[in-house]
């Protein structure tokens, strides 16, 4: 079988220059990009660095830039890229540690700003804080709760590429979930963060890159648009 050409951005990190390493990999049936990287590491260059854990699309650690699109390497089959060359780079908008390994610190710094933990007035209560299946939160947010904090939306976001301050789609989606959660009381604090003109929802230009790239199919642009509307018409966030 004809080998695939795999071009990988290689870097020692810390702003060091990036070089492109070119490798050849013989395609096996249903081979993923992550399989191809392991093949290269095992047979051609054991210094190649990349990150992974679950290998089934659950942990989010194998996010990288594959043929100019941020994707999970373990969920991307090489044959479905419809190209005889696979180009792989680190996730954009994040500092490179080495080769394909990035630091997610800036992503989680933004995540922390929206106060992701539940703020419940009854946190010492022994009663279970159940959310009724008929509540608005239960009905309107199921898919938005599937985030695996892979950072792909952060890497795909055009605004993030020019604004260090912007919270980014995943953090805003988390804020939305807490704002809708009937058990949570930190509404004012979170609204203040997402209403900030330099960091908050108003920076989003609805390019839909985050929505298109999210491996969990979370409609992040819808989340951001709903929060914009809620800023203008606060009843849109009524918890029920």
In whole angstroms, the minimum distance from the beta carbon of 136 to ligand FES comes to: 31
Residue among 74, 175, 204, 224 that touches ligand FES (CB under 6 A): 74
Q: Rule CB under 6 A: say whether 93 interacts with ligand SF4.
A: no
State the minimum distance, in angstroms, from the CB of residue 216 to ligand SF4. 4
Q: Is 77 in the site for ligand FES (CB under 6 A)?
A: no
Site membership for ligand FES, residue 62 (CB under 6 A): yes
- Coil/strand/helix, residue 108: helix
Residue 77 Cβ, how far from ligand SF4 at the closest point, in Å?
Answer: 19
How many amino acids of this chain bind ligand SF4 (CB under 6 A)?
16
Minimum CB separation from ligand FES for residue 51, in Å?
8
12 binds ligand FES (CB under 6 A): no
Contact call for residue 102 and ligand SF4 (CB under 6 A)? no
Q: Give the DSSP H/E element, type plus range, for residue 5.
A: strand 3-10
Considering just the CA atoms, what is the radius of gyration of the chain in Å?
A: 20
Vertex 155, ends 55 and 232: CA angle to 5°?
120
Rounded to whole angstroms, how far apart are CA atoms 107 and 129?
Answer: 30
153 binds, among ligand FES, ligand SF4, none (CB under 5 to 8 A by kind): ligand SF4
Distance CA 116, CA 61 (A): 20
Q: Which long-range contacts (CB under 8 A, 24 or more apart) does 17-21 make?
A: 18/89, 18/96, 21/45, 21/48
Helix residue spans in the chain (DSSP H):
33-43, 105-113, 136-140, 152-156, 169-180, 187-194, 209-213, 220-232
- Least distance in angstroms from the C-beta of 176 to ligand FES: 23
Neighbouring C-beta atoms of residue 31, cutoff 10 Å? 17
Among 7, 31, 55, 106, binds ligand FES (CB under 6 A): 55
Residues 6+ apart with CB under 8 A from 192: none
72 binds, among ligand SF4, ligand FES, none (CB under 5 to 8 A by kind): ligand FES
72 in contact with ligand FES (CB under 6 A)? yes
Binding mask 133-172 for ligand SF4 (x = CB under 6 A): --------------xxxxxxx---------------xx--
State the Cα–Cα distance between residues 125 and 5, nearest whole angstrom: 59
The span from the CA of 213 to the CA of 190, in Å, is 26
Q: Which residues bind ligand SF4 (CB under 6 A)?
A: 60, 147-153, 169-170, 173, 214-216, 218, 220
């Amino acid at each position: 079988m004809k080998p695939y050409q795999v071009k990988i951005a290689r870097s020692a990190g810390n702003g060091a220059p990036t070089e492109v390493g070119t490798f050849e990999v013989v395609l096996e049936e249903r081979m993923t990009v992550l399989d191809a990287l392991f093949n290269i590491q095992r047979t051609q260059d054991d210094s190649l660095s990349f990150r992974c854990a679950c290998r089934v699309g659950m942990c989010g650690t194998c996010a990288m830039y594959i043929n100019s699109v941020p994707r999970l390497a373990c969920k991307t089959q090489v044959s479905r890229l419809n190209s005889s060359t696979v180009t792989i780079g680190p996730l954009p908008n994040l500092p490179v540690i080495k080769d394909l390994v990035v630091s997610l610190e800036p992503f989680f710094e933004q995540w922390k700003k929206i106060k992701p933990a539940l703020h419940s007035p009854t946190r010492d209560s022994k009663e279970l804080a159940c959310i009724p299946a008929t509540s608005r939160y239960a009905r309107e947010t199921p898919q938005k709760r599937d985030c695996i904090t892979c950072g792909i939306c952060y890497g795909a976001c055009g605004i993030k590429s020019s604004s260090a301050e912007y919270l980014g789609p995943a953090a805003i989606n988390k804020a939305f979930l807490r704002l809708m959660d009937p058990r949570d009381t930190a509404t004012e604090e979170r609204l203040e963060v997402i209403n900030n003109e330099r960091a908050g929802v108003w920076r989003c230009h609805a390019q839909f890159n985050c929505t298109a790239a999210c491996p969990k199919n979370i409609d992040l642009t819808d989340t951001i648009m709903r929060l914009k509307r809620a800023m203008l018409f606060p009843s849109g966030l009524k918890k029920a």
